[in-house]
Structures are given as C-alpha cells and as structure tokens.
Amino acid sequence: MRYWGQVSMTQAPHPQREQRGARVKLGGSVLALLQLQNKRQIRARLNQVSCNGGLLQFDQPLDEGIIVEILFHVGSTTVRSKAEMLFPMWATKGCLQPFRFRDIPDDLRANLAEDLTAMLKMSPGTMAGDANLP
C-alpha cells in the first residue's frame, strides 16, 4: 500500500547482505603479535580468522574500540594491518575478543581469502560459524 511520500513495510527496500568470506577455526594454533598505540606489544592466540577480522584469545581483554597493529602468518600470507578491537567475551580459558581489520590492502585481503579457502578445502572441519566474527 503506497501513500504519498511513504513506503509500506512490505515494499521497503531490503539491502542484500554481502557474502562473507571464508572463516577458519584455528583453535589458538597461530600466534599473533599486537602493538598498541603506546608501542607496547602483546601476544595473543588467533582462535578464528576471516578476511574481515578474527577472534583472539587473551588472558585479559583489551579495551573495546582501541586500534592496534596486528601481525600474524596464515598459510603463505603474512598479515600486518591496523585492527579495531571489539567487545570481549569471557571464556573457560581467558577471554575471546573479536577484531575487525581497519586498513588491510585489497591485495593482502585477497591473498588471505585465498589461503583461508585453501585451508577449508584441505580440512572442512575448520569452518567457523557466524557468531562472534566481523
């Protein structure tokens, strides 16, 4: 039902969600190095990763919203990028904290996506679910 200047809910446009890239469970097998803005470095275990971000395992969480530089190696790709830390969740062993890449170059994102897809083909059980990842 249309009214002048209004659109009913059934006619409202529905933006299509972009298809997400491969998300891989690493279970903490990959170490990541984070550099805070004050140049302090922190080590963490990479629990899950996608070409948009990932999930880190810490003893103590970092503040939500801070920007860090993250460095890790997956497959044949070494990732070094700025990342935004998101809201942490307490887990059995420490805490899990998602992050979102902030300025990852397109070619690096493509290389990471390619490596993650290859990892999934070799071991489909490493596919991560939708929860907790950007």
Beta bridge partner(s), residue 58:
95
- Run of H or E including 121: helix 106-122
Domain-located, residue 134: no
Number of domains in the chain: 1
Res 91: pLDDT: 84
Domain with 51, as residue range(s), is: 21-120
Position 93 scores a pLDDT of: 82
Task: Answer yes or no: is 13 within a domain.
Answer: no
Whether residue 124 has pLDDT greater than 70: no
Calpha distance 95→88 (Å, rounded): 7
According to the model, what pLDDT value does residue 130 have? 46
Q: Domain of 108: which CATH number?
A: 2.40.10.220
| Mean confidence (pLDDT) of the chain | 84
* DSSP 8-state secondary structure symbol assigned to residue 131: T
The tens digit of pLDDT for each residue in 31-81 reads: 999 999 999 999 999 999 999 999 999 999 999 999 999 999 999 999 999
* Higher local confidence (pLDDT), 82 or 3: 82
